[in-house]
Structure 1
Amino acid sequence: MNKQSESFTTGENFKAQDYFGHHKTKNGHTFRVWAPNAQNVDLVGDFTNWAENPIPMTKIDSQVWEITTELPNIGDLYKFQITRSNGEIIMKIDPFSIGLEKRPGTASVIYDIPEKKWKDDKWINRRNKTNYFKEPINIYEVHPYSWNNHDDGTPYTFKELKETLIPYLIEMNYTHVEFMPLMAHPLGMSWGYQLIGYFALENTYGRPEELRDFVEECHLNNIGVIVDWVPGHFCINDDSLAYYDGTPTFEYYNETRANNYRWGALNFDLGKPQVQSFLISSALFWLEYYHIDGIRVDAVSNMVYLDYDEGPWEPNHEGTNINFEGYHFLRKLNAVVKEKHPNVLMIAEDSETKIKVTGPISENTLGFDYKWNMGWMNDILRFYEMDPIFRKYNYGLLTFSFMYAMSENFILPFSHDEVVHGKKSMMHKMWGNREQQFSGLRNLYAYQMCHPGKKLLFMGSEFGQFLEWKYDQGLEWDSLNDDLNHKMQHYSKTLNEFYKGHSPLWAIDHDYSGIEIIDADNSDQSILSFLRKDEENYILCVFNMTPVERVNFTVGVPDAGLYTEIFNSELKEFGGNLDKLNQDTKTREGDWKHYKNTLSFTLPPLGASLWKLKIKDKKKKGKS
């Protein structure tokens, strides 16, 4: 057994694609596949007229089959024809191929992609020196198939997205773009979360070279690229990874643990060393081959908790619901990635709270940098969907997140999951008539920007698309002809720019020193106020959660002096009714909770009003 095969067997080969799969060599084309329990493996493809003239492969050790042949040409399709242990013959994809043919076909493609001379050195060097915990992160989540379509309904490839999506990201002031899975998947309805190719770019989106050029162009324009990745489960299709050699190969031997009933998929055996080599190699491949800046690991709870699925489950040897294989795999994944790429973002989609997900592995965490704050997302959307009459009775939905905001390093997501399956679009969720809905949406996005945590918004939500997202259709770009949608897009653009330009909103996101609650008890008026702070400055954030104008609204502030309003969600340019911001306002002396000074101003209905101290009165004290 050679070193690469041996390290694959021990779970330590993190560049397994350099050994397995197809490789152009001086003697032709070499193919290798892991199929330890197969009776026989043949190479078939365009160059063999498929099953008519199969090329026998040789088992070179206890688990690897190999062949070198001059027959194929670049661009040919191929599969491995596997004779399983029971004599059944089936054609399988190459698990390590970097491209598959277009749907509905699933054959692997023989690629010979030239080396790329990357031009993003400045970005990579800056990324590697940046403490992203103290930087703004505002992510635009994209499903590339449905961001925009051609007139005939076909989606844009990455070559076309380079010319259209990147200018849009720049114009809208996003710091990152996050793509739903780009890996090969046979069914668009899965949105990419039922994968068959863990190294292959989905052919619908173009060629690998086009994605590399897209990422480079993002970096040249100071935009980071994040990709969703699914290491927990895989597509059950018989021509892909499922029972690859006729026995449980990538999946668990235990049938109960192998079956993912919730998603109709198969769970990876995360304790098997070869599977660990396969998956960690996949993650590093996307980071290194495509210069990706971050990976969002999908469905972490499904990997860590045995009872997360909807089907039957069996406790572990300790009698608990912890999947120790999944737990240790994720820690190993993050350790390996961080050792090689310390400043790449590792993000978890996790809905549980039993195990700490973010933070150093030495502190008994899973080792992720960030976790989606699903609790905040669910609570806040319930609150904003509610008739304002009832909000004072459910005020805790708005404020409860402050109790645990620093328990993890959070991203605040309004993701694709919240605008499908009858949940309504973000705009359609909002209470009231159309103008009030847009007011509520502007208020909500301002609250997201001011709340501790990094930010994420799903495509189309930035301009208030009314219909739910459809995975097979482009966004409702025509709605921008409507004045309110156009102004909503302008609002999102301006708010994103405001966020990037004001460090109190992001410099201290993961420590309570970055936020000071002024009043989280005003449930009767449903008005929330707090400060966001960096080391030297602060922003006063006030949110009116009812359609009632509050004239001469008063709130306590920490410093005496002159305050200036720097942002208001209800300006006419955004679709509101205000001609201009509130005028600069001086504080007054007076006890207000634990403050010695107050600030009074007009708070518009469903409005968000942000202020900063313009001139401090050094003669007067603030807090008592």
Structure 2
Amino acid sequence: MPITTRLRSVTVPETYRSPTFTPANARLARPTATPAPLRFIGAPRAGLLNVPASPLGPPQPIPALELQALKDGAHVDPHKLLGPHQVMVGGAPATQVRALFPSARAVTVVTASGDRVPLTGNAGLFEGMLPRVGQRYQLEVTPNDGSPAQLVEDPYRFAPTVDATQLYLFKQGTLEDTAKLLGAHPMTVDGVAGFNVVVWAPNARGVSAVGDFNGWSRTSHMMRRLQDSVFEVFIPGAKGGAVYKLSILGSDGKRVEKADPAARASQLRGQTGSILVGADRHVWSDQRFLAARAATDPTAQPLSAYEVHLPSWKRNADGSMMNYRQLARELIPHLKKERFNAIELVGLAEHPLDDSWGYQVTGYYAPTSRHGTPEDFKAFVDEMHAAGIKILYDWVPAHFPKDAHGLATFDGTNLFDHHDPRQGEHRDWGTRIFNYGRNEVKSFLTGSLVHMLDEYHLDGVRVDAVASMLYLDYSRKDWIPNQNGGNENLEAIAFLQDVNERVAKRFPGVLKIAEESTAWPKVTKPKSEGGLGFDLKWNMGWMHDTLAFFQAAPAARGAALDGLTNTLLWAHSEKYVAALSHDEVVHLKKSLLEKMPGDDWQKRANLRSLLSFMTSYPGQKLLFMGAELAQRGEWDFRSQLDWDALKNAGNQGVAALVADLNKLYATEPALSEKQFVPEGTELRVRDPQNAVVALARKGNHAEDDVLFVHNLTATPRRDYRVGVDAPGRYAEIFNSDASIYGGSGVGNLGGVDAERVPMHGKPYSVVLSLPPLGSIALKQVSTHRDATHRHVERSRRPRTLPQAGRAHTMRMSSAVGGSP
């Protein structure tokens, strides 16, 4: 391997500064695995920071204070003192070499030509003179403990590997490719393979890269500070898989070992080190999927997302977590069977505490190592895309934990957050709040999202806890108003608008979803209209009100019907996702099944009715894992789903219903074409007396319209009349009470014919049999009976309905819905 020496003057100032830089004269260098050789002397390489040359002079001793700083691993520019330096000796140029090896007995320079020059040692500092300049060399180090000598590269002979344009944009708060600046990158410099490590810690008194590659010595790879901003070092010989940390002497005088904030991988929880990730070996096969994604408006397509927490979805027989590749093999068949077309991954980014579910992130640039390596996760994504399944990333830019190895007081200051707890602390969560007004923080967060979307081909982002970002007084009594005296976090608003614009421009077709729990206006409007720029927003109000309604006893639902239907008053104020998420099945809130009133049969019937109502409601869909199994226990992140629940025929019925509802949503145009405009949904029936609701969903063509009728009580209703727009036959294309779903089999013999009887403001009407705690869907078809849907019942014969521990025959009651 060739050895190249790069010479430096001994008069470089202690605080390193790059040459004058403006965006106009700098080239954006895109690092490759083998960049061209770097130069210290002569014409600077465009785009890269360079040490300015200084007049040559005679060798100078290291001042005592600086020498002690070196030995303490507390120098901001160790390259100024260590490594090769061109000096004048007897009027001729020569090369002075200094090396710091506190545990060495001897150090010898070995030149590329084979010459050996022993260095003189004094308390761990070794120095000597090479008679010629520009000689390539390595260091032969003989340890004090009698172990064999080792031939090593001198890390202090390499030029900076930081791109000037990227550093400028980072400091301006506009860098998207922050992953190319910060973190550890495999590269070859001057023919030597290794990793460069760059970290933002402007206030640190000293930073060292410590790890498996140097015996965790903080004097082996001390980093230099560049432009009073980032610290950098090239680590020759370091290999992928090595564990490392950053040993930081903070401005407060405390030394801590931190994980790399931009690490590409981390150790398993319980250990807190970062891991060097080598060159990417994954060969992607999803080009067609990505091309189709970029050419499609994702909000115009039906989205049936399955929210999944991979650690607790399914585990190995011994209780251990599955690898990403194994999860793909197990999860894809389940998704296909249940007909979900997307997954939202809870807790994907690296996090130290299982109990946080992944919402207290320490590794914003790394998928969690709980399931394998970054390469394993890429294989997972590739398999999902091959199956036609999108992946949404649950991103957490609202706050970060206080773990000692994480972002908190990173360089001895509140680098990423606010010092004042009225701005910088979430007391409810015990976490810190990002400072969205600091440029480098904006670049760090934006870059983390861009990296995850770009590196792992993710198809969307769901931003967690947006409300906590928008309000300065969110869940707090003590707060500081903004410059206008208001409670809006203007800096967070600007940040969200900016990152959404950048994602939209760089990743067309990628979804941007907000979990925003208040009535903040224009969340899904573009910045040009005063909005935040998201594509979709979780409909938290719908989720709360709908669950409250379905938890009520059926006999009381008529009086509470407003709580269910009033959500339609604002259902189109944003582009919403009707979501039943993980937050609703934890902390003793019970599983969806156990929220439902009644005995086991009624609980399942209520759950089927809830899921059917969700499908009839406007907006995209998201369902948390386990609901399709109708599992009895609430979500336990320490275990796995109750897969044994599917041994029960009633639970199998719920799983079949979820699959058919997803198919219905995907194949019926009326359920998605106008889901975001008021014209797409009509409240046809609101009948408090009988607790019946009918929603008509409208498509671009009248023949595509679908009418859902929900009987929200346990009483089946015969001869229930509902108004329709046109004459003809209406097929019953869905019935949640079908026997295949575990229902009682009350139906409409496959369809009904419209009669010229005005009802609900319509010139025609149909007479229906409404199943107990059931939902049906009708669609106008030709006059012959449609027998294509396997769940259409051919008999209205009532079954025995178990109630309160005993069975009795179900009564059929006549009712007329609404007024003509």
User: Does the TM-score normalized on the shorter chain lie above 0.5?
Assistant: yes
| TM-score band, normalised by shorter chain | over 0.9
Give a deviation string over 1:400-436, Cα, whole Å, max 9, x none. Answer: 1110111000000000000000110001111111101
Q: How far apart are the structure 2 equivalents of 1:382 and 1:586?
A: 36
State whether residues 544 and 607 of structure 1, in contact with CA within 8 Å, keep that contact through their aligned partners in structure 2.
yes
C-alpha separation in 2, matches of 1:291 and 1:55: 34
Of structures 1 and 2, the larger Rg is shown by 2
1:355-408 CA deviation, whole Å, 9 max, x = no partner? 320022211110000000000000000000001121112111110111011100
Matched residues in 2 for 1:491 and 1:296: separation? 27
**What residue is the counterpart of 1:592 in the other structure?**
759
Which of 54, 57, 79 aligns to 2:245? It is 79
Q: Percent identity?
A: 35
Residue aligned with 1:346, SS: strand
Per-residue CA deviation, residues 99-139 of structure 1 (Å, 9 max, x unaligned), is 00111111110110424332111111111111222211000
Output the CA distance in 2 between the equivalents of 1:301 and 1:280.
Answer: 18
SS of corresponding position for 2:310: coil
Query: Which residue of 2 is the match for residue 535 of structure 1?
Result: 700
**Counterpart residue number, 2:176:** 14
- What SS class does the counterpart of residue 26 from structure 1 fall into? strand
1:282 pairs with 2:444: no
Structure 2 residue aligned with 1:493: 659
Which is richer in helix?
1
Contact 2:746/2:770, CA 8 A, preserved across alignment:
no
Instruction: Please report how far the alpha carbon of residue 42 of structure 1 lies from its aligned counterpart in structure 2 after TM superposition.
Output: 1.1
Say whether 1:578 aligns with 2:745: yes
Distance in 2 separating the partners of 1:480 and 1:273: 52
Match of 1:621 in 2: none
Aligned to 2:681: 515
Say whether the 8 Å CA contact 2:609–2:773 is kept in structure 1.
Answer: yes
**Which of residues 301, 309, 316 in structure 1 aligns to 2:482?**
316
Partner of 1:103: 269
Question: 1:393 aligns to what SS in structure 2?
Answer: coil
Query: Residue 782 of structure 2 aligns to a residue in which SS?
Result: strand
Unpaired runs of at least 5, structure 2: 1-17, 19-163, 785-819
**2:716/2:770 contact within 8 Å kept:** yes
Residue 49 in 1 paired to residue 215 in 2? yes
How many Å separate the matches in 1 of 2:268 and 2:733? 51
Partner of 1:68: 234
Q: Distance in 2 between matches of 1:52 and 1:280?
A: 31
Instruction: Work out the CA distance in 2 between the residues paired with 1:471 and 1:149.
Output: 11
Question: For 1:586 and 1:30, how far apart are their aligned partners in 2?
Answer: 74
CA shift for structure 1 position 151: 1.9
Amino acid paired to 2:248: I
Give the distance between the partners of 1:435 and 1:37, measured in 2 at CA: 64
Structure 1 residue 161: deviation in Å?
Answer: 0.7
Matches within 5 A, 1:186-585: 186-310=352-476, 312-520=478-686, 522-536=687-701, 537-578=704-745, 581-585=748-752
Aligned equivalents of 2:502, 2:392: Cα separation in 1: 18
Distance 1:159 1:564 in 2: 43
5+ residue gaps, structure 1, are 618-623
2:298 is aligned with what amino acid? Y
Matching of residue 601 in structure 1 with residue 768 in structure 2: yes
TM-score for both structures, normalised by structure 2: 0.74
* Correspondence for 2:782 among 606, 615, 623: 615
Shift of 1:485: 1.1
Give the whole-Å Cα distance in 1 for the aligned partners of 2:741 and 2:774. Answer: 11
Where 1:306 maps in the other structure, the secondary structure is coil
- The DSSP-based 3-state class of the residue aligned with 1:601 is strand
Alpha-carbon distance in 1 for matches of 2:404, 2:676: 45
Question: Where do 1:138-157 residues align within 5 Å?
Answer: 138-157=304-323
RMSD: 1.6
Paired residues, number: 618
Superposed displacement of residue 354, structure 1 = 2.8
Cα distance in 1 between the residues matched to 2:473 and 2:540: 19
1:490 Cα offset (Å) = 1.5
Whether the 8 Å CA contact 1:555–1:599 is kept in 2: the answer is yes
Question: Is 2:727–2:755's contact at 8 Å kept on the other side of the alignment?
Answer: yes
Residue 620 of structure 1 corresponds to which residue in structure 2? Answer: none
Partner of 2:196: helix, strand, or coil? strand
Match status 1:37 vs 2:203: yes
Match of 1:199, as an amino acid? Y
The 3 A distance-change label for structure 1 pair 318 and 530 is same
Partners of 1:585 and 1:60 lie apart in 2 by 77
